Chains A and B, each alone.
Chain A
Amino acid sequence: MTEYALEVSGLTKSFGGQTAVRDVSFRAARGEITGFLGPNGAGKTTTLRMSLGVIAPDSGTARLFGRAPDAASMDRVGFLPEERGVYRKMTAEAVIVFFARLKGVAAGEARRRARAYLERFGLAEAGRKKIKELSKGMAQKVQIIAAIVHEPDFIILDEPFSGLDPVNQSLLEQIIREQAGAGRTVLFSTHVMEHAERLCDRIILMARGQKVFDGSVEDALARVPRQIVLGAPADCDLPGVLSGFGRLERIGEEDGALLWRLALAPGADAQGVLRALVDAGVRLTRFEPRRAHLHDAFVALVGEEAASPADTAAGEA
């Protein structure tokens, strides 16, 4: 049995002459939470669709549980697409039961699980209501339940947090952790790096249709220079004092003092910077070492321009 729920190799796809995904390869190891990150238009959705065989790649291969996607392997996958909707005239419970049965769960068991999940998601009362009577957030929770109700080995969630309020985003994070804790593989795409940072064992960064990073969150953060935000009166010669410690950039003013950001050079540390400033008699109004975030790592990896949403929607088609 392969140790990977998903292996994609050299996936490439063009639409109307425009390349949406170019030569993307990665693997999702069993039991891991993998974040599939990138701005809108980076090619995430197209890659996920090709991974599941929903659309055919122009070149490259995708393997689910060690074989080409087929009906049997798809039954072991729970997929929440980005473009999602449910039958508005069906009740929440009926929708969940319908998708569970499509994935091979027996009718009675599907109903039992639907009720349990609705309860777990705080929707017990809404189970018998039609989707059109539910709020957008409630309907989205029904869709998430429909994607995991058959208790798949591999869960793929495309932008699962979009449209959810902070409380439900937190609930979804908890659910994702629970699913991973139960030994399931989770792959989710998002353009909000904070979710990935909190949840993922591993991240794959996409930009302009290409993979730009594949590794752990720590590895990604290690690509970002550590930073310190400094505040000092305008008459202090900070560039002169800190010339050997890294790149200094003025970022604004605060209470009559100038604010600076120092990106530490390799080998430099906050302790050394502080010592140098004190020795030079600089009257500090602010000294704030900052933890790097995935967004910083992303910018560091691909540049500010590529980290912005692409001006074409082809990649997310």
Chain B
Amino acid sequence: MRAIYLIARREYLSYVATWGFWLSLLAVPVFAAIGAGVPALIQGSQPVRYFSVIDETGRGVDEMIRARLESERRIEVRDRLELMARANAGEAGAQAALAAFDADPDGLSGLDDAIAAANLGGARGVLAASSSQRVLVDAPGAGLEDLRPYLTGDRTVTTPEGERGLFAVFVIRPAADGGIAMDYVSANLTSTGLRSEVTGFVRDFLRRDALETRGLSAQEADALLTLSPEVTTLDARPGAAADAEVTTADRAPFVVAVMMAFVLWLAVFSVANMLLTSLIEEKGGKIIEVLMSTARFQDILIGKLAGVAAMSFTLFAVWGVVGGALSLFAGAALSGMDPRMMEVISAVADPQLLLAAMIFFLAGYLMFGAIFLALGSLCDTLQDAQTLMGPVIWMLILPLLFLFFSLEASDSMFVRAASWVPLWTPFLMMARLPSDPPLWEILGSGALMLATTALVLWGAGLVFRQGALGQANADSFKRWFRFGRGRKTAD
């Protein structure tokens, strides 16, 4: 035990004392923040798309498009008002503000009263600002040929931002069958968002028009167009109330479990790689024989695994504490806006899920770490190691692919069967846990995983002992395979 402790301690300190450790410590929160913010950043950093419509139908399609854009902006402002008013003035304040806002059911003229009702005087600019990146401007010409220079940037239109080119032009004209044909003209060939959105507006317009032609009033046509079943998702799991609706908090553990499985995979992969690199360095630096003449090879193997595991748990602990504190802080702040927020956070911080993650990490790490150490002991250079690592890397990558399936169908036979493969159990069973797999499956695959872990450790020890002193190397595999094919060896 003394040797294991000292070797583990040395390994641990050797990592903790490196810049890489501290960079990893900081990198995850930073990259997580970047990852979480990337969609919003991309959305926010998109330039405003100025576009024009040439309506040759004489049916007011251009005005309809302008009205739909205004309507969408109104909905956006209303949602923002509701959130801010609830956080600032509570539920009663939010209701009063919404009532004032809805006094003008089509425009934004009720916004000032709403702001006063919720005491949001300083937030008018934020509330009124549009996040819309699409602005309809009057066409600076009568025909498409006139507008082409605006599309290519040779000429500009006056906008609130200054002089800008046009992103696109819609030419809307009558179709032969009495419908509408539409040409979308843009110099940008890849962005399809604006085209889809305007196409949707025109489709609704045509349907409404068709319904009105058949004698329905505008209100009846709108009612038909917005018809949709009211879907309620109820929880039928054992223990749930008969009328218990499925909430975001109920769904959160499923998503979190898959995310944890991904994190486990990443952690196991990077940590096992660290072990491999460090062992090859030790072999290259001729330290390994000094160690092997001082401690038993099993102690060296376990000590190294334990040291790097301790380093990993330090990372997890720091991330966990920081992440937990931030979640609680943010949850407390956001629960004023949405009381369900704390439920989601407490569902995510399920101690059983965290304990399972820890156990699965340990087992996965021990299996892959021991395999990587054994392979490292056979190699003198990283290049040698890469040759041998191929099959192991594939064994690691496959569960990653299955994890995508498990998000939608964690109970599929394929995922269930794959989670019995001991090397994949830590990742796939982790992802399946919130869907309450049968106990016998958890215990059975867990026992198989632990038995495999012991077997892998034992086998890795044997290989490590041979490889560390140069009695076996990467070429040994080739000889074994040749032997397997019945050829004579050079020896």
Q: Please list the residues of chain A having a beta carbon within 8 angstroms of any beta carbon in chain B.
A: 15-18, 49, 52, 54-55, 71, 74, 79, 81, 83-90, 98-99, 101-104, 143, 146, 317
Q: Is the CB of B293 within 8 A of A88?
A: no
Q: Mark B13-43, 1 if CB is under 8 A from A, else 0.
A: 0100100000000000000000000000000
A275 to B345: give the CA distance in the assembly, Å.
Answer: 109
CB atoms of A17 and B491 under 8 A apart: yes
| Contact A52 B293, beta carbon cutoff 8 Å | yes
Task: Give which listed residue, A49, A55, A83, A102, contacts B295 with CB less than 8 A.
Answer: A102
Chain A positions within 8 Å of B2 at CB level: 101-102, 104
- Would A102 and B491 be within 8 Å (CB), given that A81-B289, A84-B289, A85-B286 are in contact? no
Contact among B10, B292, B469, B470 with A98 in the assembled complex (CB-CB below 8 Å): B10
Shortest B284–chain A CB gap in Å is: 8
19 contacts between A and B (CB under 8 A): A18-B491, A54-B293, A55-B471, A79-B293, A81-B290, A83-B286, A83-B289, A84-B289, A84-B290, A85-B285, A87-B10, A87-B14, A88-B285, A89-B17, A98-B10, A104-B2, A143-B290, A317-B470, A317-B471
Complex A-B, nearest 7 residue pairs according to Cβ-Cβ distance, in ascending order: A85-B286, A85-B285, A16-B491, A79-B293, A17-B491, A81-B289, A85-B287
| Most chain B CB within a 10 A radius of its CB, from A54, A104, A146, A317 | A54
B490 nearest CB neighbor, chain A only = A16
Given contacts A71-B3, A85-B286, A87-B14, could you give 8 more A-B pairs where the C-beta distance is less than 8 Å?
A: A15-B471, A17-B491, A18-B491, A83-B289, A98-B10, A103-B294, A104-B2, A317-B469
Residue of A nearest to B479 (CB): A16
B349 at the A interface (CB under 8 A): no
> Taking CB as reference atom, which chain A residue is nearest B7?
A102
Determine the interface band of chain B, counting residues with CB < 8 A from chain A: 20 to 34
B251 beta carbon closer than 8 Å to chain A: no
Q: Is B124 an interface residue (CB 8 A)?
A: no
Contacts of B14 in A (CB 8 A): 87, 89-90
Closest to B291 in A: A102
CA distance A74 to B294 in the complex (A): 7
B6 at interface, CB cutoff 8 A? yes
Interface centre among B286, B294, B296, B470 (most CB of A within 10 A): B294
Q: How far is the CB of A202 from the nearest CB of chain B, in Å?
A: 23
A90 to B3, CA, bound (A): 18
Question: Is the Cβ of A81 less than 8 Å from the Cβ of B293?
Answer: yes
- Please state if B287 and A86 are interface contacts (CB–CB under 8 Å): yes
* Docked-complex contact B286 and A102, CB < 8 angstroms: no
Residue of B nearest to A56 (CB): B465
Closest to A98 in B: B10
Interface centre among A52, A79, A81, A143, by most chain B C-beta atoms within 10 angstroms, is A81
Kindly list chain B residues whose C-beta atoms are within 8 Å of the C-beta of A52.
Answer: 293
- Please state if A71 and B289 are interface contacts (CB–CB under 8 Å): no
Given A17-B491, A89-B14, also A98-B289 (CB < 8 A): no
* B window 452-491: CB within 8 A of A: 469-471, 491
* Distance between Cα atoms of A102 and B6 in the complex (Å): 7
B293 lies within 8 A of A55 (CB): no
Q: What are the residues of chain B within 8 A of A317 when measuring CB–CB?
A: 469-471
| Secondary structure dominating the interface of B | loop
The answer for the CA separation of A190 and B86 in the assembled complex, in Å, is 85
The interface bits of chain B over 102-135 (1 if a CB of A lies within 8 angstroms of the residue's CB, else 0) are 0000000000000000000000000000000000
Binary contact readout B290-312 vs A (1 if CB under 8 angstroms, 0 otherwise): 10111110000000000000000
Complexed CA–CA distance, A87 and B290 (Å): 11
Which single residue of chain B is at the shortest CB-CB distance from A101?
B6
Contact B294 A99 (CB under 8 A): yes
CA distance A103 to B2 in the complex (A): 9
- The answer to whether A54 touches B292, judged by C-beta atoms less than 8 angstroms apart, is yes
A87 partner, pick from B285, B295, B470, beta carbons under 8 A: B285
Residue of A nearest to B5 (CB): A101
CA distance A143 to B287 in the complex (A): 10
Q: Are B3 and A54 in contact (CB under 8 A)?
A: no
In chain B, what residue has the closest Cβ to A131?
Answer: B285
The chain B residue sitting closest to A87, CB to CB, is B287
CB-CB < 8 A to B282: which residues of A? 85
Q: Which of B3, B10, B289, B471 has the most CB of A within 10 A?
A: B289
Chain B contacts with A in 373-429, Cβ cutoff 8 A: none
A31 → B minimal CB distance (Å): 22
B427 to chain A minimum Cβ distance, whole angstroms, is 33
Tell me, rounded to whole Å, the shortest Cβ–Cβ distance linking B476 to chain A: 9
Q: How far is the CA of A79 from the CA of B291 in the complex (A)?
A: 10
CA distance A224 to B290 in the complex (A): 38
- Residues of B contacting A71 with CB < 8 Å? 3, 296
Residues of A within 8 A of B293 (CB): 49, 52, 54, 74, 79, 81
Please give the distance in Å from A95's CB to the nearest CB on chain B. 10
CB distance from A15 to the nearest CB of B (A): 7
A11 CB to closest chain B CB (Å) equals: 16
Q: Please, which residues of chain B bring their CB within 8 A of the CB of A143?
A: 290
Interface centre among B7, B17, B293, by most chain A C-beta atoms within 10 angstroms, is B293
**How many whole Å from B297's CB to the nearest CB in chain A?**
8
Q: In the docked arrangement, what's the CA distance between A2 and B471, Å? A: 33
* B295 neighbours in A (Cβ, 8 Å): 102
Quick one: which of B269-283 are within 8 Å of A by CB?
Answer: 282
B294, A102: Cβ atoms closer than 8 Å = yes
Nearest A residue (CB) for B297: A54
Residues of B with C-beta under 8 A to A87: 10, 14, 285, 287
| CB-based contact B290/A49 at 8 Å | no
Question: Once the chains are docked, how many angstroms separate the CA of A76 from the CA of B70?
Answer: 87
What is the CA–CA distance of A85 and B287 in the complex, to the nearest angstrom? 5
Which residues of chain B are near A54, meaning CB under 8 Å? 289, 292-293, 469
Report Cα–Cα, A317/B470, bound state, in Å. Answer: 7
Which of B6, B17, B290, B469 is the one whose CB lies under 8 Å from A86?
Answer: B290
A53-B289 Cα distance, complex, nearest whole Å = 12
Give the chain A neighbours of B3 by CB distance below 8 A: 71, 102
Inter-chain contacts of B287 with A (CB < 8 A): 85-87
Bound CA–CA A18/B490 (angstroms): 12
A92 to chain B minimum Cβ distance, whole angstroms, is 14
Instruction: Name the residue of chain B whose CB is nearest to the CB of A52.
Output: B293
A143–B286 CA distance with the chains assembled, in angstroms = 12
Q: How far is the CA of A155 from the CA of B328 in the complex (A)?
A: 60
Whole-angstrom distance from the CB of A50 to the nearest CB of chain B? 11
Complex Cα spacing A104 to B470, Å: 28
How near does chain A come to B319, taking the closest CB pair, in angstroms? 26
Q: How far is the CA of A17 from the CA of B488 in the complex (A)?
A: 13
A17 to B296, CA, bound (A): 27
Of chain B, the residue at the smallest CB distance from A53 is B296
By CB atoms of chain B within 10 A, which of A55, A87, A104, A146 has the most? Answer: A87
Complexed CA–CA distance, A55 and B464 (Å): 12
* Chain B nearest Cβ from A87, distance in angstroms: 6
- Give Cα A52–Cα B293 distance, bound, in whole angstroms: 7
- Closest residue of chain A to B3 (Cβ to Cβ) is A102
- Bound-complex Cα distance A49 to B10 (A): 25
Give the complex CA separation of A79 and B289 in angstroms. Answer: 10
Q: Provide the residues of chain A in CB contact with B285, threshold 8 Å.
A: 85-88
Contacting residues, chain B, for A55 (C-beta < 8 A): 469, 471
**CB-nearest residue of chain A to B10:** A98
CB distance from A166 to the nearest CB of B (A): 24
